[in-house]
Structure 1
């Protein structure tokens, strides 16, 4: 899928899903810039990078314009919903939802001026269903999908589209860290298998599967795809 000459910016682009997406766009001929907070991981990506906090509105305003913007940065934390600390609740919403809104505010207006653009937010199956002990995360990811759908309607006549990709449990360093914490806390030896069982295919999603969906949404062939949640979950939410 040729994207030669297109400028792409991927937040959270130094590892996991973001890095897979960035590399896929690079291989397709796009000019890719990865953004993140961890300088060491950014340098290791092998791609042009910028160090940035996606919750910093002023810093986002200084980013170079992109034809395709992938709002991927985020994080997860678990706790019983009613005993989640206010600080943790606020952090989950800021990192997973407010940051996407701030990215859209910075990235989309130049796209409108050019008459072409793709805004892609990385949601989650938690954008369309609940998970126990993940109330703040699920609330934020539900919000991402609502934001994308509203934005899509406002952009419908501009040549710019807004969509969300919503993967299930994906084999990333973030998920591996979460599984390690569960194992350490519970002593269970079947933690990875229990995560994989949420997918009817019986496996974790591969980051490259998410990257392929992002490439398609960025293509001219997906010009009519707007306001959608592209679920990559093996049928979990079917």
Structure 2
């Protein structure tokens, strides 16, 4: 494989699909993974260059290893890894079940950890690599009713910072992008959850989310993608959690 290789998780829709298409336009051969083959095929159709469609549940035992093994067998070790797969759940602390808690940790924290563990050795050997985790402003700020999600995102930002410090002199950078509410299907699910629990109209629920940003609008997928590409391009940036939230959380 003459082209550099990128691996994007959660590539079936939203931010992951946008990142995959952008990396393809940058000249990468892009391996795509998420649960849905149909969605991955749609993302592959948006890409300008070679793609590898690898539907899987990243929380399943051995799934990360199988995906990376396949990429290496078909192409080469990924030089860019974007850990975007994630999900959210809303409940008060006292109503958060063990199952909900574990779901958030498994997908939002353990899966990225396993992905880094599996892909870092080849990057270190090549003395070059870019790892970007799509986290959330919830990695830095606690909000009510999302304790499990917030804990998982705080955890993954800690993973990013520690890995970046460890790899600082190897040519491998590790960063997180921390979006606010983005115009994606995941936010649409959040809106519906507010409607179901509060009786607000969808318009009222959306307005409440938009009001969290000084811009009074949702962040676009393209704005998050640009932040991810910055992390890929900039060799002097590592260990960062880059906020893309319209100025709601200033740091």
**How far 1:83 sits from its partner (Å)?**
2.1
C-alpha distance in 2 between matches for 1:231 and 1:78: 22
Q: How many residues align?
A: 233
Q: Which runs of 5+ in 2 are unaligned?
A: 72-76
For 1:62-73, list aligned pairs within 5 A.
Answer: 62=66, 63=68, 64=71, 65-73=77-85
Q: Under a length normalisation based on structure 1, what TM-score does the superposition of the two structures give?
A: 0.94
Secondary structure at the counterpart of residue 203 of structure 1: coil
1:106 & 1:35 partners in 2: Cα distance?
15
Contact 2:64–2:111 (8 Å) recurs in 1: no
Which SS does the other structure have where 2:87 is aligned?
coil
Matched with 2:74 is none
Q: Deviations over 1:140-194 (max 9, x none)?
A: 0000110000000110111001000000000101111221232233231211111
Match status 1:54 vs 2:48: no
Report the alpha carbon displacement of residue 61 of structure 1 after superposing the two structures with TM: 1.6
Q: Does 1:207 align with 2:221?
A: yes
- SS state of the match for residue 3, structure 2? coil
Aligned: 1:192 with 2:196: no
User: 1:101 aligned to 113, 121, 135, which one?
Assistant: 113
Q: How far apart, in 1, do the equivalents of 2:243 and 2:4 lie? A: 25
1:143 aligns with 2:141: no
Q: Deviation at 1:42?
A: 1.3
Please give the alpha-carbon distance, in whole angstroms, between the structure 2 residues aligned to 1:203 and 1:117. 34
Q: Which secondary structure state, in structure 2, belongs to the residue aligned with residue 144 of structure 1?
A: helix
The 8 Å contact of residues 137 and 179 in structure 2, kept in 1 or not, is answered as: yes
Alpha-carbon deviation of 1:118? 0.4
Q: Which has the higher contact order (CA 8 A, sep 6+)?
A: 1
Structure 1 residues not aligned, in runs of 5+? none
Deviant stretches of 4+, over 3 Å: none
Rounded Cα–Cα distance in structure 1 between residues aligned with 2:26 and 2:192: 35
TM-score for the superposition, normalised by structure 2: 0.89
How far off is 1:80 after superposition?
Answer: 0.3
| C-alpha deviation, 1:5, in angstroms | 2.7
